[in-house]
Structure 1
Amino acid sequence: MIKKAIRMKVYADKHEEYKKRHDEIWPELEQSIKEHGCKSYSIWLDEENNLLFAYLEIEDEDRWGQLSKTAINQKWWMYMKDVMETNEDDSPVTLSLNNVFNI
């Protein structure tokens, strides 16, 4: 199992909307995430700094990387671009975090 952590940023006035959209995640997106080898995916919000911390456990980097090419994932990105920082292709601006400690 590969453990990944990333940081993203939500707009200050969009915290509730971000949570609402994830509470109502599309079933076909959730299925696609699982089909691309994700066994666990959690996101936390640092409300003071508008930062999102995501933790994922995936089976394979290449398989996981294919998710971004799916129509459902790209549709989700377009849906989310008004609540968070995004790149020109509507993907979230992300920063991969390095694991420095485990117990």
Structure 2
Amino acid sequence: MQLKPGMAAEYRRRHDELWPDLAEALSQAGIHDYSIFLDEETLILFAVLKLRENHSADALPQLPVMRRWWDHMADIMEVEPGNRPREWPLQPMFYFA
């Protein structure tokens, strides 16, 4: 994901105040151990999360709370039409277990 310049503190503040109904939706979808990292030079946000077996994370974009969150974040991030955060896949390069 891509943060807009000068928005790092605001991004952190909004996530520090994550809405309880969004947190519940993420948990119910099977998401846990979720972290977002910022590359301060490029303003790229990198998210890492774990999904439980039989998760329903693919259904999150249809939830009203998720769409409200996207609208809430659209002014500080690069977004697609509909305010979904702009995302792109990364090529795995190394894994150590």
Change (3 A) 1:89 1:61: farther
1:60 Cα deviation after fit:
5.2
Q: Does 1:83 align with 2:76?
A: yes
Q: TM-score of the superposition, structure 2-length normalised?
A: 0.92
Q: Which of the numbers 71, 74, 81 marks the counterpart of 2:67?
A: 74
Structure 1 runs of 4+ with >6 Å offset? none
- Match of 2:6, SS? helix
Flag the structure with higher strand content. Answer: 1
Q: Tell me the CA shift for residue 40 of structure 1.
A: 1.7
Q: Is there any run of 5+ residues in structure 1 with no aligned partner, and where?
A: 1-7
Change (3 A) 1:61 1:16: farther
What is aligned with 2:25?
32
User: 1-side partners of 2:53 and 2:86: how far apart?
Assistant: 22
Task: Report sequence identity in percent.
Answer: 33
Q: Where does structure 2 lack aligned partners over 5 or more consecutive residues?
A: none
Tell me how many residue pairs correspond in the alignment. Answer: 96
Name the aligned partner's letter for residue 47 of structure 1. E
Which residue number in structure 2 is paired with residue 41 of structure 1? 34
**Scaled by the length of structure 1, what TM-score is found?**
0.87
Q: Deviations over 1:38-62 (max 9, x none)?
A: 0221000111111101001112587
| Residue 49 of structure 2 corresponds to residue 56 of structure 1 | yes
Which structure has more relative contact order (CA 8 Å, sep 6+)? It is 1
